[in-house]
Amino acid sequence: MPADPAGWVLWCDAQLLVIDKPAGLPTLPDGYHKEAPHVKSVLEPLYGRLWIVHRLDKETSGVLALARSAEAHRSLNTQFEQHTTEKIYHALVRGDPPWGTFSIRLPLRANGDRRHRTVIDPLQGKPAVTHLQVLRRSAGWTWLEAKPETGRTHQIRAHLAALGLPLAGDALYGGKAAHMPDEALSVPGAARLCLHAWRLVLDHPVTAERLTFSAPEPAGLLRILASVGIVDR
């Protein structure tokens, strides 16, 4: 990932800015460290006022769309609320699922426990669907494609944990089972979630053109994948 934020840009016009967000940068200000860099504080000096449309967790990398006008913000918000966008993530999980494809349908409730996690809640949870596909397996680790049909907070992380497939690096949802493999602990950039927003498909907020944006896995994540045999070194 380039150090220069301008190098993150996948698309830029008067209405829409799409970036490849690096892991370690929060989308919004941290509630406890409001002065710490975040997406808007880094990009607004270069691109003017920006509106957040959707979020990626701090330690998640990949495609993130931002609006550059109030009109674009309204259009993009509607698309995400009505689930007409398409989001595809790649995830490294601990475990070897017995299936090649699987759809998990478990209702989720955000901020559902003392640790402020999203929890499975059949009574008060909101409907949530995540479609999963195995991409590659290696020595007890699996590289998955995750396609959320809905957009609940921490949806992929909570659903994977519920399946007994904790996301690598996700101590909040996976506990000790989510610890990075020993082979990866010395890899630069290993202190991150092994979750990457690989592709985003949406309609341009003004022209309505269907647009597809993709971001390759960053070098640090590829080194982690190589350390467990998911990709070649």
Please, what's the b/e burial string for 153-190 (b: 16 or more CB within 10 A of its CB; e: otherwise)? bbbbbbbbbbbebbbbbbebbbeebbbbbeebeebebb
Token digits of residue 66: 């931002």
**DSSP string across 16-75:** EEEEEEPTT--SS--SS-TTS--HHHHHHHHH---EE-S---TT-EEEEEEESSHHHHHH
From CA 117, how far away is CA 178, in angstroms rounded? 15
From CA 154, how far away is CA 47, in angstroms rounded? 28
- 30 catalytic, yes or no? no
- Point out the catalytic residue in the list 57, 170, 203, 232: 57
| Residues labelled catalytic | 57
